């Protein structure tokens, strides 16, 4: 039999439901193919916000998470909710944490280090093939965190890699949500990462210790700082 080239298919989604946080900031839907960046200092809940944006689509949609700081098992348990105890989630574990994948339900690809970009590419491809076999209403991808890639790999290569990853997700009409810890990088690097995304959610801690968010670059976003519930 002649081999047919393997190609990722576009999903059927044209827009994604924005979820409670974004709608509070005036954003009701997000166009399929958009790339959102969640940025803020450490300990402002970037990962939790990313996961909640992915959870908004469950159980009808699929989630794919590329994790660098938390184990696949940890992400699996964080993404499950009371309503969706076993979500359609594929986790790509690029953390250097020793995982015990057999004890965890669901689909996990172990890459083993943020440095292994070839391994990451193969893992993404395997996940998108599986998701397409299952057929789905949409796919939301979390990349947590771009900062880890910047710790292991030089800036030019990270930007190149992000452009390839985000280019593929966007071409397939996936919604991508990345996180970036802004305290760790020079302003120019932050600007370059922002330029690869369509919109962003900025997080900060107020003097009173509350976490605040504002949304920029998305349709309807009003750029106002508000307390994150």
Binding footprint of another protein on the chain (CB under 8 A)? 2-3, 5-10, 115-118, 120-122, 124-125, 129, 153-154, 156-157, 159-161, 163-165, 167-168, 170-172, 188, 192, 195
CB of 159 to another protein, least distance (A): 6
Q: For residues 148 and 152, give the distance between their C-alpha atoms in angstroms, rounded to a whole number.
A: 7
Closer CB to another protein, 129 or 223, in the complex:
129
Closer CB to another protein, 30 or 120, in the complex:
120
CB of 211 to another protein, least distance (A): 30
Give the distance, in angstroms, between the CA of residue 112 and the centroid of all CA atoms in the same chain.
18
Q: For residues 78 and 61, give the distance between their C-alpha atoms in angstroms, rounded to a whole number.
A: 17
The distance between the two most distant Cα atoms of the chain, rounded to a whole number of Å, is 66
Residue 79 CA: distances (Å) to CA of 1, 106, 118: 41, 12, 26
CB of 198 to another protein, least distance (A): 10
Beta strand 89-93 pairing with 62-67: parallel
Whether the CB-CB separation of 54 and 80 falls below 8 Å is answered with no
Q: How far apart are the first and last CA of the chain?
A: 56
Closer CB to another protein, 168 or 214, in the complex:
168
CB of 66 to another protein, least distance (A): 12
CB of 8 to another protein, least distance (A): 5
Count of CA atoms in the C-beta half-sphere (13 A) of 136: 29
Closer CB to another protein, 26 or 121, in the complex:
121
């Amino acid at each position: 039999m002649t081999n047919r080239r393997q190609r990722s298919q576009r999903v059927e989604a044209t827009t994604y439901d924005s979820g409670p946080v974004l709608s509070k900031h005036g954003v009701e839907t997000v166009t399929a193919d958009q790339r959102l960046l969640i940025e803020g200092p450490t300990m402002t809940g970037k990962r939790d916000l990313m996961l909640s944006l992915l959870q908004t689509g469950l159980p009808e949609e699929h989630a794919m998470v590329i994790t660098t700081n938390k184990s696949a098992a940890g992400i699996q348990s964080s993404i499950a909710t009371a309503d969706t105890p076993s979500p359609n989630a594929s986790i790509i574990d690029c953390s250097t944490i020793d995982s015990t994948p057999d004890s965890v339900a669901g689909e996990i690809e172990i890459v083993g280090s943020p440095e292994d970009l070839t391994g990451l590419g193969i893992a993404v491809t395997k996940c998108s093939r599986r998701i397409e076999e299952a057929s789905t209403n949409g796919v939301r991808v979390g990349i947590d965190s771009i900062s880890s890639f910047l710790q292991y790999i030089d800036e030019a290569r990270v930007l190149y890699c992000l452009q390839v990853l985000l280019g593929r997700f966007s071409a397939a009409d996936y919604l991508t949500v990345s996180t970036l810890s802004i305290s760790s990088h020079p302003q120019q690097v932050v600007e370059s990462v922002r330029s690869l995304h369509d919109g962003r959610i900025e997080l900060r801690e107020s003097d009173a210790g509350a976490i605040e968010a504002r949304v920029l670059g998305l349709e309807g976003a009003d750029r106002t700082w508000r307390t994150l519930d």
